[in-house]
Amino acid sequence: MTKVPQARILTAGDSALTVEFGNEISEEINGKVLALDNAIQKEGIVGITETIPTYRSLLICYDPCAIRYAALKRRVSRLAERLGAASSGAGRIVEIPVCYGGEFGEDLPDVAAHAGLSEEEVVRIHSSKDYLIYMLGFLPGFAYLGGMDSRIATPRLKTPRVKIPAGSVAIGGEQTGIYPIASPGGWRLIGSTPVRPYDPDREDPILYRAGDRIRFVPVSAEEYRKIQALADQGTYPCTVREGGTGNGI
Amino acid sequence: MGFEVLKPGLLTTVQDFGRTGYQKLGISPSGALDRRAMTLANLLVCNPAAEALLELTFTGPELRFTADNFIAVTGGDLSPALNGKPIARYAAHPVKAGDILSFGQAKSGCRAYLAFAGGLGLPAVMDSKSTNLKCGFGGYQGRKLLAGDTIGFASPKKELPFFPLRTLESPTFGGEVSLRVILGPQEDAFTEGGIRTFFGESYEVTPRFDRMGCALEGPTVECREKADIISDGIPDGAVQIPSSGKPIIMLADHQTTGGYTKIGTVASVDLPLLAQCKPGDSVRFERISVADAQKLLRKEAKKLRKLNRYLNE
């Protein structure tokens, strides 16, 4: 167990403050961040305009014409002190169908070679875990996932690709993730998902939140195309399971 | 009916106050870089302060109106002209269908704001009409304007109340800018000498200046151990110091999270000054407390409310 230190409140300009719970990537510290975020939403503090939860801190943006710095700091510290040891409790598991290898993941052979495993083994290992979403950032809906099996860790490409297609599922070092929009990047492409983690025209533009978990579910090329047709019409319902304790917590 | 774009200019986008509440999903706030100029342009044509308008960068567009309305141009001086005749900035002007609005050389500042009475007939995406260039949504089809684009007015006005009053003093921009900075959240990462350098020396605006951020050149800000942190949230105006030791100031289209150390944050009231800087301009940083920066912000909000009452009530 990581020891979670006392929250530190830091100034981040005249319209934001940062509540920092530690200086490492751990589920316990991230759990505190998400729990504080939930507590703030529940409390409904007038003047807070938005929050950004990250690995180890919560950025709270506010309108200084609506609430004073000192008053906000007091209320936030009180909430932070009262947090239990429990994690966020959001705990949904979102299933993401992935077609691995071939034209869908051209670097899968390289990842397998680097790991000294067969492609099937890599797919089995990659799809046998629930990955905690520590935070979203970098791109709309880009999830920073924790808990990838180190056996399939593979260094980033020496020269990044100029354009990685949206929906690519990739491995970069010890991390794995999904590219929600086309973007440059140096991660190794192992598969692709037909679902759209991000769609600006959807009422809920992003499928998941920090604190949820992602489960990659292998599908065939044929299933991929069927799901894609539904996703294009906006009628593919991603499987979401509630109350996941997953593995780890 | 509204206007047709004859020439698009360098980077002409639709902006308003930006998106609030979507940063936790990784979506940048966007919005006008010079919010003061934006607010004034809107007030001059009787719009709410946050109405969508055009942000013009360096080289303005050429537009042909297809309906009568009122306009106002604020911010940097990009030499606006109506049917070839120069028009005053910071004033409301009537325009008629067939009129051509053009821009010339950038004389002072680099970003102008063009407001249309009654606003623009464009859909809001996630509660804002701001263009998010990286993600390609909002504004006009999620992109900068191109020749041939047409945008309609939402509710053009036949007249504006107190029309003769609708003119304000036009500021000039450029030269050396002093930006007030609130230290933190990671000031501990820098040596005392590093912080002295940051506040004591002058920095130059480089061409790496877009809607995401402004990279500066100048003396290296010394850090204690390493320049990187485990990614955390980025507020508007955050001053990042990457391992090069040269400051980068984060603007409206900034990433929501990042792993560079942040020495401080530019006071909100000073961000409009930075928005009008050009490559080659020099920037100095001056220390300010949170309380004082907020006092300035509240004072400005009060002044704008007063002006709004004077013009529009």
Dist. CA A242–CA A219, nearest whole Å: 22
CB-CB contact of B120 with B151 (8 Å): yes
Q: How far apart are the first and last CA of chain A?
A: 11
Residue with tokens 């970003």: B111
Structure tokens at B257: 């999270």
Among partner residues A13, A65, A135, which is closest to B237 by beta-carbon distance? Answer: A13
**Residue to test with chain A: of B17, B25, B131, most A Cβ within 10 A:** B25
Amino acid at residue number A184: P
pLDDT at A233: 84
Among partner residues A50, A68, A139, which is closest to B26 by beta-carbon distance? Answer: A139
Q: What is the pTM of this model?
A: 0.92
DSSP track, B142-201: TB---TT-EEEBSS--S--TTGGG-B-PPP---SEEEEEEEE-SSGGGB-HHHHHHHHHS
pLDDT at A90: 57
Among partner residues B134, B235, B297, which is closest to A12 by beta-carbon distance? Answer: B235
A81 versus B269: which is more confidently predicted? B269
**Residue to test with chain A: of B30, B183, B212, B257, most A Cβ within 10 A:** B257
Residue of A199, A223, A214 lying closest to A247 (CA atoms): A214
Per CB-CB distance under 8 Å, the chain B contacts of A198 are: 25
Q: Is residue B32 classed as helix, strand or coil in its secondary structure?
A: coil
Label residue B165 by pLDDT band (50, 70, 90): confident
Across-strand partners of A132? A146, A213
Among partner residues B234, B258, B290, which is closest to A11 by beta-carbon distance? Answer: B290
pLDDT at B204 over 60: yes
Please provide the average confidence, as pLDDT, over all residues in chain B: 95
Phi, psi of A151 (to 5 degrees): -65, -25
Per CB-CB distance under 8 Å, the chain A contacts of B237 are: 13
Dist. CA B78–CA B200, nearest whole Å: 33
Binary contact (A52, B257; C-beta < 8 A): yes
Among partner residues B233, B265, B290, which is closest to A57 by beta-carbon distance? Answer: B233
Phi, psi of B34 (to 5 degrees): -105, 90
pLDDT at B105 over 90: no
Residue with tokens 């709309």: A140
- Residues in chain A with pLDDT values less than 50: 87-88, 245-249
pLDDT at A5: 65
Q: Is the dihedral of CA A12, A15, A20, A26 positive or negative?
A: negative
pLDDT at A248: 34
Binary contact (A65, B267; C-beta < 8 A): no
Render pLDDT for B270-291 as a digit per residue (tens, 0 to 9). Answer: 999 999 999 999 999 999 999 9
Q: Provide ipTM, 2 decimals.
A: 0.95
Dist. CA A11–CA B292, nearest whole Å: 13
Per CB-CB distance under 8 Å, the chain A contacts of B301 are: 65
Dist. CA A154–CA A63, nearest whole Å: 44
pLDDT at B228: 79
User: Among residues of chain B, what percentage have pLDDT more than 90?
Assistant: 91
Q: Which of residues 229-288 of B touch A (CB under 8 A)?
A: 230-238, 255-258, 262, 264-268
Residue of A119, A129, A145 lying closest to A208 (CA atoms): A145
Task: Looking at the complex, report in whole angstroms how far the Cα of residue B304 sits from the nearest Cα belonging to chain A.
Answer: 13
pLDDT at B249: 98
CB-CB contact of B97 with B152 (8 Å): no
Binary contact (A64, B234; C-beta < 8 A): no
Render pLDDT for B124-141 as a digit per residue (tens, 0 to 9). Answer: 999 999 999 988 999 999
CB-CB contact of B190 with B241 (8 Å): yes
